[in-house]
Amino acid sequence: MFKNKNILVTGGSGMIGRQLVSLLLSDDANVHVADLNKPVNMSNSINFHNIDLKDFSNCKEICNGMDYVFNLVGIKCSPQVCLERPADIMGPMLQFNTNMLEAAMLANVKWYLYTSTVGVYEPAEVLYEDDVWKTQPSRNDWYGGWAKRMGELQCQAYEKQFGKGKCSIVRPANVYGPYDNFDPENAMVIPSLINRGMSGERPLSVWGDGSPIRDFIYTDDVADGMLEVVKQGYNKPINLGSGKGVSIKEIATSIANKMPDKCEIIWDTSKPAGDVKRIMNTERAESIGIKPKISLDEGIETTIKWYNKFNNKDLNRYNAFTDKLYTK
């Protein structure tokens, strides 16, 4: 399907983007990557474009001649940073999708995939795709959640006006894996604990009491799901998760047990723990043959081994909150 096709992956140097690019290259696609992060350890076969997608002229230029666009660009950060820097999150995210959708429409691309997030949902034990617009995002994901919701609504508006059936919307759960954001100042729970644990923090401090339950999915499984959604021309919003709940305590314990030396955990209950439970319903994904292959324990083990092998040397990356690269 993708052989000799021109395909753009925005955010293609990121955690999910790298794996998606590899899959597309294996299908003999002509892959273009737009990212502010350098394509470290990526194939020389890609066409790399170091551009800022907040500039519409850049988006028009990069979309010209593309057959497919996978829009993975976004801003990933810890819950604390999300609450402290809402304008730095919401504004650019709205710009990214507004610019990319308009540019893709003008370029008459065959299909556009938009990467949304679990953050669009309200707190609930099980998250169903069709429930999103009956509720509001969690206060812990308020600004990013609304920005991603607006991105979804923009996709639906363009699809309705300019051609039904040309857009996919995927909602990944809590994604982790190699090339994640390991910056301890704004990383999510798994990369943050791996970074601090491997850096020798003892005991390892974790926010809250460890009771919140989340749905985690390995980066390779998300990339597989994205590709399958586009291959099948699926145009309903779809969850990409494991469908299984794991407590933060289980996550922290698993990571601590994989450290090279004894690693005790202390719980900082003075800090917010987040929503109680968030698990994705994955029936829609399973109905079209999408199911994760990598277990949580295997994924964490692989991520730690990767982190240890590269010793964080490949983690220099653009920081949306400081406009500079993060270096350990």
The catalytic site residues sit at 143
Q: How many CB atoms lie within 10 A of CB 274?
A: 18
The CB-side HSE value for 61 (13 A sphere, CA atoms) comes to 12
Nearest Cα to Cα of residue 151 among 75, 225, 55: 75
As a whole number of angstroms, the distance between CA 89 and CA 77 comes to 9
As a whole number of angstroms, the distance between CA 144 and CA 138 comes to 10
Nearest Cα to Cα of residue 156 among 112, 109, 107: 112
Pairing mode, strands 246-247 and 213-214: antiparallel
As a whole number of angstroms, the distance between CA 159 and CA 45 comes to 32
Q: Where are the beta strands (DSSP E) in 128-262?
A: 167-172, 174-176, 204-207, 213-214, 216-218, 238-240, 246-247
As a whole number of angstroms, the distance between CA 328 and CA 312 comes to 7
Pairing mode, strands 238-240 and 47-49: unpaired
Give yes or no for a contact between 211 and 276, defined as CB atoms under 8 angstroms apart: yes
Helix, strand, coil share (%) of the chain residues, nearest 5: 40, 20, 40
